[in-house]
Amino acid sequence: MKFPRTYSLKEIAELIGTTFIGPENFPISGSNEIHVVEPGDIVFVDHPKYYDKALESKASVILINKKVKCPQGKALLISKDPFTDFNKLTKHFNPFNSANTSISNSSIIGKNTIIQPNVFIGNNVKIGDNCVIHPNVSIYDNCHIGNNVTIHAGTILGADAFYYKKRKEGYDKLLSGGAVIIEDNVDIGALCTIDRGVSGNTTIKKGTKIDNQVQVGHDTIVGEKCLIASQTGIAGCVVIEDEVTLWGQCGTNSGITIGKGAVILGQTGVTKSVKGGKTYFGTPIDEARKKMKEMAEIKQLIKKQKK
């Protein structure tokens, strides 16, 4: 999430009520979650397990709950509760704006694009040329849709990330400040849900085709010319490279990468990153031929035991 202008370290510290380590005029241009952080960004960390990852990331400022040695060229914001203070930034720079009409006056809709009845289009949405948006589609604020895109009935783009911190009193939600980007020539089936990024964007790249009832989690990037079949669930912060096929009822862990040209057979649990150019099956995932051979061997062992 980029700020409307560059802020100083002192300004941000005063905004969220924290102390800081570093020059008070240290420049800050945005805030991002660890998977998509860039130079100029703030990233938050509140668990010792991830201190080093945050401190060594591309982030220029680390919002942290412990005084540590500040890495060279970076700055620190010291907070009792980085999770809550990160939410303060999202609320301040990307507050929720309620809608007054079904299609926002601030939305931009391209030439020859067809919007069917009962579609909701939020604030600052951009839709390209020659698109078809079928009934009961909801497109939340700030989503961008390219040219020649078809979105079928009941699909939702831009719902909040499923991201919570467990507290004694219950679950505390990390607010979402990102959006969804759909590039050119993408087809999205009926009743799909594509969540917006926590602070960056969830992206579906050009030429990808998505079947009905598919879930895509926050900050995930789906590459070009992928095929994703029905009832597949993709977790947050996944990278799916170009020309990947996910057959029906696949599921993935978060934070993994599926390599270019990989084929994931139906009902596979993608529990780890896998290389491209191969076919995979099973839970835990493995190369399909190897997995099928193992299953055949187990079957033979069971037969022998019964004799």
In a domain, 101, yes or no: no
Q: Please state the domain count of the chain.
A: 2
Which residues participate in catalysis according to the annotation? 218
In a domain, 22, yes or no: yes
Nearest CA to 189 out of 219, 226, 158, 214 is that of 214
> What pLDDT was estimated at residue 155?
98
Q: Are residues 89 and 169 in the same domain?
A: no
Residue 101: count of CB within 10 angstroms of its CB = 9
Q: Are residues 157 and 9 in the same domain?
A: no
Contact 155, 189 (CB under 8 A): yes
pLDDT digits (tens, 9 = 90+) for 273-296: 999 999 999 999 999 999 999 888
pLDDT digits (tens, 9 = 90+) for 169-179: 999 999 999 99
**Which residue, of 43, 61, 93, is where some domain finishes?**
93
- What range defines the domain where residue 18 resides? 2-93
> What pLDDT was estimated at residue 33?
87
Query: What CATH number did the domain enclosing 228 receive?
Result: 2.160.10.10
In a domain, 296, yes or no: no
In a domain, 298, yes or no: no
> What pLDDT was estimated at residue 304?
81
> What pLDDT was estimated at residue 307?
67
Q: Are residues 114 and 240 in the same domain?
A: yes
> What pLDDT was estimated at residue 305?
81
Contact 267, 261 (CB under 8 A): no
> What pLDDT was estimated at residue 158?
98
Query: What CATH number did the domain enclosing 20 receive?
Result: 3.40.1390.10
Q: Are residues 88 and 112 in the same domain?
A: no
> What pLDDT was estimated at residue 303?
81
Q: Are residues 17 and 87 in the same domain?
A: yes
Q: Report the DSSP pairing between strands 41-45 and 27-31.
A: parallel
Q: Are residues 70 and 138 in the same domain?
A: no
Question: Side-chain half-sphere of 210: how many Cα atoms within 13 Å?
Answer: 33
> What pLDDT was estimated at residue 224?
98
For the chain, which ranges sit under pLDDT 70? 307
Q: Are residues 36 and 168 in the same domain?
A: no
Q: Report the DSSP pairing between strands 19-21 and 75-78.
A: antiparallel
Q: Are residues 187 and 240 in the same domain?
A: yes
**Which residue, of 33, 66, 93, is where some domain finishes?**
93
